[in-house]
Chain A
Amino acid sequence: MMWLTGGFIFRRGNSAYHRLDPRVKLLISVLMFATTLLVKSLYELAGVLLFMVAVAAIATVLRRVARTMMFTATFSVIIFVLNFVFTGNLDTSLLYAARFVAIVVSTSLFFITTSPDELEQVMKTFRLPRDVVFAFVTAVRFIPVMFLDTIQIMDAQKSRGLELEKGNVLRRVRNMVPILIPLVVNSVVRSGELAEAMESRAYGAVPRPTSLMEYRTRLRDRVTAIAAVVVFVLTAYSFYFVFPARIL
């Protein structure tokens, strides 16, 4: 399970990409996301995916992005099958399935290189309500904790003779009950404890609290942002005016 989630959870890194202003990383991810929606052929999509792989290599997260791709590919198969069944068009079905992988990779690149603290700053930039920002960032911060909880709960139940992989689909779903109940109960208890801890540390005492960190965009951030926009505009232009419209 940790193997799968490794492709989505932030881990501290020291690459040039990690050190970028989080808002610039968000811009790059949004532009990559938009580009995947603009592509009309598998060749173009392959080019976009290659670009994402290059970004992942610069950010030294290539292996984790590869995991994300493999994990997403399992869902892509469903998208491909459903499209193929209902449209009967192999090329379009392939394009949609591959596009899903690209969309997930573009967002995953942002999340695996951006710490929850940076994410909080980005959300504050958009002037979102403080409580909403706090709730979202806390949820992100607690994902790894919940996965550790899940593993420990699974270990405890397996040690009591529970065989998760045994039986038909219904039995397997029922086997998840001893995992899910402690997980939900622990999460609810933890959220209550967290709320009390936050309140006892004056959360919400003043309407506009000060901030420990303030991001100032540096020259390299501005250059990267401009380069990202230029590459996006050129790519979009080439999709519509240089190459003829086609699927394959």
Chain B
Amino acid sequence: MIEFREVTYVHQNGVKALDGVSLKIEPGETVAIVGENGAGKTTLVKHVTGLLKPATGEVLVDGKSTRETSTAQLSRKVGVAFQNPDHQLFSESVEEEMSFALRNFGFAPGLVEQRVKWGLELFGLEEYRKSSPLVLSGGEKKRLTLACILAWDPDVVILDEPTVGQDSIQKEKLAGTIRMLAASGKTVVVVSHDIEFLWPMQPRLVVMKAGKIVGDGPAALVMQEKGVLDSARVAQPQLVEFYRALSERPGEPFVDPLEARRWVEGTDR
């Protein structure tokens, strides 16, 4: 379990990135963290692996304070795939890149080989096994970073903006992987601006604004709180907007989708 207790964090430039954040994430939960740029989402997840230590308050991972545990120890339990894949790729080949963390964690050579194969197959990267990770496309690099994290099978998987640079098919595959992780009992935390990607998964939604949590609950409920979402500059999913508009429409049901669209856009009112 991950628990934030009244956590405050102030950047060196004096900006308060987290302001009294309290949050509990139970094992096996799928949580999406949304909010405008600078709301404190990435700062929040960096606290889970002890990369940042709270100025006040406490972060507990499986009951242990992150102040007393090293990032390497915490990373064995918590895998974070950061936003920019170029910040981690350095090896001569994709397979070496994937095995880097496994070797750091002391996996046996046979198991390393097995996990690398599994990860490459899962993310469709087998053909690049011997290629340099630096020559992959943006989307492929992103998938490789995810494969690198999942390879060591952490209990908690944190994905920071995983859909950036991914086409619709890869997004669908990614959503499938998240569902698979959730089904296998992993705790999954997704930081994203991509509401349309998050919505079908129906995660628990945590809305952040200026270092504070302003909304927390099942996505189906939080996504209808337009005031909260507007204040945090989070768009409602198109489907929610559509149904909201439908519910306000008096009279006849729609005849065809185009009529519905014209009505929502206000061109035939």
Contact = CB atoms under 8 A, between A and B. Distances in A.
Interface in A1-35: 2-3, 6
Contact of A163 (B49, B70, B79, B90): B70
Contacts of B134: 185
Contact of A161 (B82, B87, B90, B104): B104
Given A2-B12, A185-B134, A159 B82 contact: yes
B36 to A, nearest CB: 20
Contacts of B238: none
B105 interface: yes
Given A155-B46, A159-B49, A160-B148, A185 B71 contact: no
Contact of B86 (A160, A177, A186): A186
B75 interface: yes
Give the interface centre of A152, A156, A182 by most chain B CB atoms within 10 Å. A156
Contacts of B75: 158-161
A160 B90 contact: no
Interface in A152-209: 152-153, 155-163, 177-178, 181-182, 185-186, 189
A149 B72 CA distance: 20
Contacts of A178: 88, 90, 100
Interface in A120-166: 149, 152-153, 155-163
A171 B89 CA distance: 20
Nearest to A156: B88
Contacts, number: 67
A17 B257 CA distance: 66
A59 B104 CA distance: 47
B140 to A, nearest CB: 16
B101 A161 contact: yes
Interface residues of A, number: 22
A162 B152 CA distance: 14
Interface string A79-123: 000000000000000000000000000000000000000000000
Nearest to A155: B51
B59 interface: no
A152 B82 contact: yes
Contact of A160 (B12, B46, B84, B101): B101
B76 interface: yes
B105 to A, nearest CB: 5
A79 B51 CA distance: 35
Contact of B100 (A2, A3, A160): A160
A177 B90 contact: yes
B80 interface: yes
Interface in B143-167: 148-149, 152
Interface in A197-231: none
Nearest to A153: B87
Contact of A152 (B87, B89, B90, B100): B87
Nearest to B84: A152
Nearest to A160: B101
17 contacts: A3-B12, A6-B12, A152-B87, A153-B87, A155-B51, A159-B71, A159-B79, A160-B100, A160-B104, A160-B148, A161-B105, A163-B70, A177-B90, A178-B100, A182-B86, A185-B90, A186-B87
Interface of A: 2-3, 6, 149, 152-153, 155-163, 177-178, 181-182, 185-186, 189
Given A159-B71, A162-B104, A163-B70, 12 more contacts: A2-B12, A152-B82, A155-B46, A155-B82, A157-B88, A158-B49, A159-B49, A160-B149, A161-B75, A185-B90, A186-B86, A186-B87
Interface of B: 12, 46, 49, 51, 70-72, 75-76, 79-80, 82, 84, 86-90, 100-101, 104-105, 134, 148-149, 152
Q: Which 6 A-B pairs have the closest CB atoms?
A: A161-B104, A181-B90, A160-B101, A156-B88, A158-B71, A156-B87
